[in-house]
Amino acid sequence: MEQPGFDFEPERRILSVAELTAAIRGLLESEFSGVWVAGEISGVKRAASGHIYFTLKDEDAQIQCACWRGSARVLRFQPQDGVAVLARGRIDVYPPRGQYQLIVEALEPQGLGALQLAFEQLKKKLAAAGLFDPERKRPLPRYPSRIGIVTSATGAAIRDMVHVLTRRSPGIQIRLYPARVQGEGSAGEVVEGIEYLGDSGWPELLIVGRGGGSLEDLWTFNEETVALAIAACPVPVISAVGHETDFTIADFVADQRAPTPSAAAELAVPERRELLEGLDAARRKMEQSLRYTLANARTQLHERGTDRAVSVLRRRIGQSQQRVDEADYGLRDRIRDALGSRRRLLQDREMRLRQQDLRLRLADVRRRLEQLERTLAEGMKLRLLSAKSRAAPLTGQLNLLSPLAVLERGYAIVRDGAGKVIKTAQQAPVGTILEVTLHEGELIAKVTHVAVGTAPPAT
């Protein structure tokens, strides 16, 4: 039974709007951080600051989204109205409107149509930048002897290319930069391979590619970073991605597009048999031309009846034939020597490769690396101890000189309403409002009495 004369009311907890909004934000951030949301984009707005704002909706609901400039720069494609996506981000509250929103950190298109949209967007952007212009395409070297390849070390593409290259041009030098060509992080590895081989100055020609697959599998070669790396490569680049019907952004940027990796190898080097046949054809054509010229000259001289001229012409013809024979012998000798040199170089490389045991070299390098890591750790420990010992006395001196230490001993700083420090009693007549700064907190005081000339008591 309630006692008369007593009023029991529970204690009320009063929050400001800002405090309530901050509490809600904390709850949402802790519960919905790194969430994936599926929906359709609508109402895209791009601010001058570089931020992107849009709405993500489905049949039953919608949520406002914001993508800050740093995240917008690395999106796979630019958001457009009507595109279905997966958005990853965190829930936040915008205090001025008291509205919750999704802070988007990454966007992934849903379905083949969205991937095709991203492809067309990047293609249009790079075309406008001039990366597809025929004028910037470089001719491939006619007889390269050093070729660099960026692809997977375990795929069928590298086996096909090495087989074709060595068959068409025995003794050719090949360097592989192994890189993943599919999945997260693969684009970065392909870019590293292009930049490494291009900056090394070793290859005369670069082949970049992989075997066939779906649009998602080939997407590494539709990344903008890969296209820019190909365009900046100092040596000509052949793009060999997928099958003949597959086209990627890399194909448009490269100096030459090959329908398959094997076709890229065939484009890179001419076949030795074709070279020899070309030389033979040139020799036969030259001989035929000389015979025709000589026969025509012989006819003219015979008609003129000039025996001496015939004799002189025959002598010159004989000398010319001799020079032709010598040139033919020299050409054959040079071809034979070149082929022998390539064959000996290949045999020497094969012997050296068999003699080297890479496992021993790797073990030695690993031991040296572990020793260097231990030395570095000890050195860092000594440097930290030395820095700590030098900082300790400086910290003590700083504490002694700090005005906060003086306040801690019971002193205070007195200012008038204008913020001016009060040093004498005459500066604060009766009625002056003073701000007193203590070691912890501040006081607002009003002067009720002024004693001029009174010495402070000894402490």
Q: What would the pLDDT profile of 120-163 be if each residue is shown by its tens digit? A: 888 898 999 999 999 999 999 988 999 999 999 998 899 999 99
With CA atoms as reference, report the closest residue to 211 among 241, 249, 170, 178. Answer: 241
Residue 294 CB neighbour total at 10 angstroms: 16
Q: Output the pLDDT for position 10.
A: 65
H or E segment at 58? none
The pLDDT of residue 195: 96
- pLDDT for the residue 113: 63
Q: Which residues, at least 6 apart from 72, have a Cβ–Cβ distance to it below 8 Å?
A: 50, 51, 52
Q: Give every strand in the sheet of 433-437, ordered side by side.
A: 413-415, 433-437, 442-446
pLDDT at 297: 76
Count other Cβ atoms within 10 Å, centred on residue 210. 27
Cα–Cα distance list, 73 to 41, 67, 78, 232 (Å): 18, 10, 9, 20
Q: What's the confidence (pLDDT) of residue 202?
A: 95
Closest CA to 218 of 206, 226, 228: 226
- 65 and 55 Cβ atoms separated by less than 8 Å: yes
pTM, to two decimals: 0.46
The residues with which 46 forms a beta bridge, in sequence order, are 52
Q: What is the pLDDT along the chain (459 residues), one digit of tens a residue?
A: 455 555 556 677 777 777 787 777 777 777 777 889 989 888 999 999 889 999 999 888 999 999 998 888 888 778 888 888 889 998 888 888 888 899 999 888 776 566 777 788 888 989 999 999 999 999 999 889 999 999 999 988 999 999 999 988 888 999 999 999 998 899 999 999 999 999 999 999 999 999 888 777 888 999 999 999 999 999 999 999 988 777 899 999 999 999 999 999 999 998 777 777 777 778 888 888 888 888 887 777 666 665 666 666 677 777 777 778 778 888 888 888 888 888 888 888 777 777 666 677 788 888 888 899 888 888 888 888 888 888 888 877 777 777 777 777 778 888 888 888 888 888 888 888 888 888 788 888 888 888 876 555 544
Paired tokens of 292: 């025709």
Residues in the chain: 459
Cα 119 to Cα 44, 76, 88, 124: the distances in Å are 19, 9, 21, 9
Q: How many CB atoms lie within 10 A of CB 84?
A: 15
Rounded CA-CA distance 152/127 in Å is 28
